[in-house]
C-alpha cells in the first residue's frame, strides 16, 4: 500500500534533512516534488493543490523559521496536513435497538461479498452475533461464495433465490429479532455500472429494513474512478461510510487519500489482503504515518494480538523456560506469524530504519524461506519434531526428498533451531547476561 508514494516522499525528506535553514525558495522546491509525487500516486488534483497550499502557508512562517530543526518541522507539518485530508476517524454505528442492520453496496468486482464476510468476522470477534444476508439472487456464484465464507468464519448466512432482495432482507431482520442476533449484514447485488434498477432495489431494501449504516465498497485499484463511483452512490443513496478494498494491490493508493476530502463520506475500513482477517479499522493518523514511512507499530501490535493465541503462547513460553522447546513449537510459531498477513505487509508497518532494514531482504525471498521451513518440518514425523536429536543423515535425506528441498536446507534449519535452543538456555542460566557474546 502506497509503496511508490512512500519511497518518493522518503527520498524528498532525505534531501530536506541535509539542509540547515530553509528559505521560501527551498520550501517551493520541496513542495513541487511533493505535488508531483501525490499526482503520480493518483491523488485528486484539487486535493493536491489545497494540500500543498496549506503546507506552504505553514512552512514559510515562523513555525518553521524559528524551529531548532526546520526540516523535521516541515515533515511534521506534512504529516499533520495529510491527516486533515484523510479525515476524522468514524466508528461503525452499532447504537440503538438490536438487531442493527448494515447494508453493503457497490459495483461488481469491488470485493463486496468478501468485504461482507470480513466485516462479519470482525464484528463477531468484537462480541456481536452476526447474521449475513445473501442479497444477490442474480449471481448464484455470489450466494455460494458468501455461504462458503460464512461457514469458514462461523457466521450463519440466510439466502433464498425465490425472494426478491427487499423481502429477503425483511425476513432476515425478523429472524434476527427472534433469534437474538445483534447485527444483520446485507450483501447486495452489484452492477457493471451505476444504473436505475440497482438504485431502486437498494432504496427498496432501505424502506423494508431500518438501516444503521449503508456502506459503499470501493475498489482502490480503479484509481480516480473511485471518486466518481462514490459520488454517484452518495448522490442517490444515504451513504454513511466507505470500505476501500484491495489496498494491498499494486494500486497507487491516491483514491484513499482523495475520497474523504472530495465526497465528504468517511472511510471506515480498509481491505488489506485476501484473508478473512485482512480488514483494518481506518485510522487517518496511522495511515498518514505509513504513507510517510514512519510505520504503524500500533497496527502491527494489533495484528500480532489477533494472530497469536494467548493460551498457546503461554504454554510455549512455559516449555521454553523448562528447556522443552522443540520443532513442533517452532512450526506453531511460524503458522501464527503467517496469520499476521504477508511479510510485505508486516515490513510496511515497521518504522523508518527498521522497515528499511527488513526490506533489505526481499519479501519474496523471505516468503519462500518460510515455505521451505514449513515444508521441511511437515515432512518430519511427530517423533522427530519432538526430538530433533533423532535426525541422523539418512532421516535428513528422507525429509529433504519429502519436502522438495535439499539436505543443506534441512541442515540449515536444524542449525537455526539449535541456535535458538542455545539462546533460550543462556537466558535461563544468566537472566540475559552474556547475550552480547553470542552475537559477536
Which pLDDT does position 226 carry in this prediction? 81
Decide which of 262, 291, 320 is a domain's last residue: 291
- Residue 268 and residue 126 share a domain: yes
CB 136 within 8 A of CB 202: no
Q: What is the pLDDT of residues 78-126, one digit of tens each?
A: 888 988 888 888 899 999 999 999 999 998 888 899 999 999 999 999 9
Whether residue 174 is found in the same domain as residue 245: yes
CA 310 from chain center: how many Å?
A: 21
Structural domain includes residue 92:
no
For residues 193 and 127, state if they share a domain: yes
Q: Is this model's pTM higher than 0.85 or not?
A: no
Same domain? 257 vs 362: no
DSSP state letter for 66:
T
Domain of 189: which CATH number? 3.40.50.300
Residue 317 maps to a domain: yes
Instruction: State the CATH number of the domain containing residue 352.
Output: 1.10.260.30
Q: Are residues 202 and 285 in the same domain?
A: yes
Same domain, 214 and 264: yes
- In this structure, is residue 311 part of a structural domain? yes
Residues 274 and 398 in one domain: no
Report the pLDDT value the prediction gives residue 130, as an integer from 0 to 100. 96
Same domain, 150 and 79: no
Same domain assignment for residues 24 and 153: no
237 inside domain: yes
Q: Which stretches in the chain have pLDDT values below 70?
A: 1-2, 19-20, 62-68, 249-253, 293-324, 336-364, 424-440
CB 64 within 8 A of CB 74: yes
Residue 137, domain extent? 100-291
The residue among 233, 258, 291 that closes a domain is 291
Please write the tens of the pLDDT for every residue from 360-418. Answer: 555 567 777 888 888 999 999 989 988 888 999 999 999 999 999 999 999 988 888 88
What is the structure's pLDDT at 103? 96
Task: Tell me which H or E stretch contains 120.
Answer: helix 112-125
pLDDT of the residue at 434:
45
Query: Residue 432 belongs to what H/E stretch?
Result: none
297 lies in some domain: no
Q: φ, ψ for residue 121 (rounded to 5)?
A: -65, -45
Peptide bond into 99 cis (omega under 30): yes
Most distant CA pair in the chain, distance: 74
Asked if 219 and 344 sit in the same domain, the reply is no
Structural domain includes residue 93: no
Query: Of 238, 271, 291, which residue constitutes the final position of a domain?
Result: 291
Is residue 65 situated within a structural domain?
yes
Q: Residue 38 belongs to a domain with what CATH number?
A: 1.20.120.140
Kindly state whether residue 296 falls inside one of the protein's structural domains: no
- Helices assigned H by DSSP within 189-277: 196-208, 225-236, 254-263
Q: Are residues 233 and 317 in the same domain?
A: no
Domain count, the chain: 3
129 and 265 together in one domain: yes
Based on DSSP, count helices (H) and strands (E) in the chain, helices before strands. 22, 8
Amino acid at each position: 500500500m502506497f509503496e511508490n508514494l512512500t519511497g518518493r516522499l522518503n527520498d524528498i525528506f532525505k534531501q530536506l534533512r541535509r539542509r540547515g535553514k530553509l528559505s521560501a525558495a527551498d520550501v517551493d522546491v520541496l513542495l513541487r516534488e511533493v505535488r508531483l509525487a501525490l499526482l503520480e500516486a493518483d491523488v485528486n488534483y484539487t486535493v493536491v493543490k489545497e494540500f500543498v497550499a496549506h503546507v506552504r502557508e505553514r512552512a514559510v512562517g515562523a513555525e518553521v523559521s524559528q524551529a531548532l530543526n526546520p526540516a523535521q518541522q516541515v515533515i511534521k507539518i506534512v504529516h499533520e496536513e495529510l491527516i486533515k485530508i484523510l479525515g476524522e476517524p468514524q466508528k461503525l454505528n452499532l447504537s440503538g435497538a438490536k438487531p442493527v442492520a448494515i447494508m453493503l453496496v457497490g459495483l461488481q468486482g469491488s470485493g463486496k461479498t468478501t468485504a461482507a464476510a470480513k466485516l462479519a468476522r470482525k464484528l463477531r470477534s468484537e462480541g456481536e452475533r452476526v447474521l449475513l444476508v445473501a442479497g444477490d439472487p442474480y449471481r448464484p456464484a455470489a450466494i455460494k461464495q458468501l455461504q462458503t465464507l460464512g461457514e469458514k468464519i462461523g457466521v450463519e448466512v440466510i439466502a433464498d433465490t425465490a425472494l426478491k432482495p427487499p423481502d429477503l432482507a425483511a425476513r432476515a431482520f425478523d429472524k434476527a429479532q427472534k433469534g437474538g442476533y445483534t447485527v444483520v449484514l446485507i450483501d447486495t447485488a452489484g452492477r457493471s455500472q451505476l444504473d436505475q434498477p440497482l438504485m431502486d432495489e437498494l432504496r427498496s431494501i432501505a424502506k423494508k429494513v431500518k438501516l444503521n449504516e449503508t456502506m459503499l465498497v470501493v475498489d482502490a485499484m480503479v484509481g480516480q474512478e473511485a471518486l466518481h463511483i462514490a459520488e454517484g452512490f452518495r448522490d442517490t443513496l444515504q451513504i454513511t461510510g466507505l470500505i476501500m478494498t484491495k489496498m494491498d494491490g499494486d494500486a497507487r493508493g491516491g483514491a484513499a487519500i482523495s475520497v474523504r476530502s472530495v465526497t465528504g463520506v468517511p472511510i471506515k475500513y480498509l481491505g488489506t489482503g485476501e484473508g478473512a482477517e485482512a480488514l483494518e479499522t481506518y485510522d487517518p493518523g496511522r495511515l498518514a504515518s505509513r504513507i510517510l514511512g514512519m510505520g504503524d507499530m500500533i497496527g502491527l501490535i494489533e495484528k500480532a494480538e489477533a494472530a497469536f493465541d494467548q493460551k498457546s503462547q503461554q504454554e510455549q513460553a512455559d516449555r521454553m523456560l523448562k528447556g522443552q522447546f522443540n520443532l513442533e513449537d517452532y512450526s506453531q510459531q511460524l503458522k501464527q506469524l503467517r496469520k499476521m498477513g504477508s511479510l510485505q505487509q508486516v515490513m510496511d508497518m515497521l518504522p523508518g530504519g527498521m522497515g528499511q532494514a527488513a526490506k533489505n531482504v526481499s519479501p519474496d525471498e523471505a516468503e519462500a524461506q518460510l515455505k521451505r521451513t514449513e515444508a521441511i518440518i511437515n515432512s518430519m514425523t511427530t517423533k522427530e519434531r519432538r526430538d530433533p536429536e533423532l535426525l541422523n543423515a539418512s532421516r535428513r535425506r528422507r525429509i529433504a526428498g519429502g519436502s522438495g528441498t535439499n539436505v543443506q536446507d534441512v541442515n540449515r534449519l536444524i542449525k537455526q533451531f539449535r541456535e535458538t535452543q542455545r539462546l533460550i538456555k543462556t537466558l535461563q542460566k544468566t537472566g540475559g547476561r552474556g547475550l552480547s557474546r553470542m552475537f559477536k
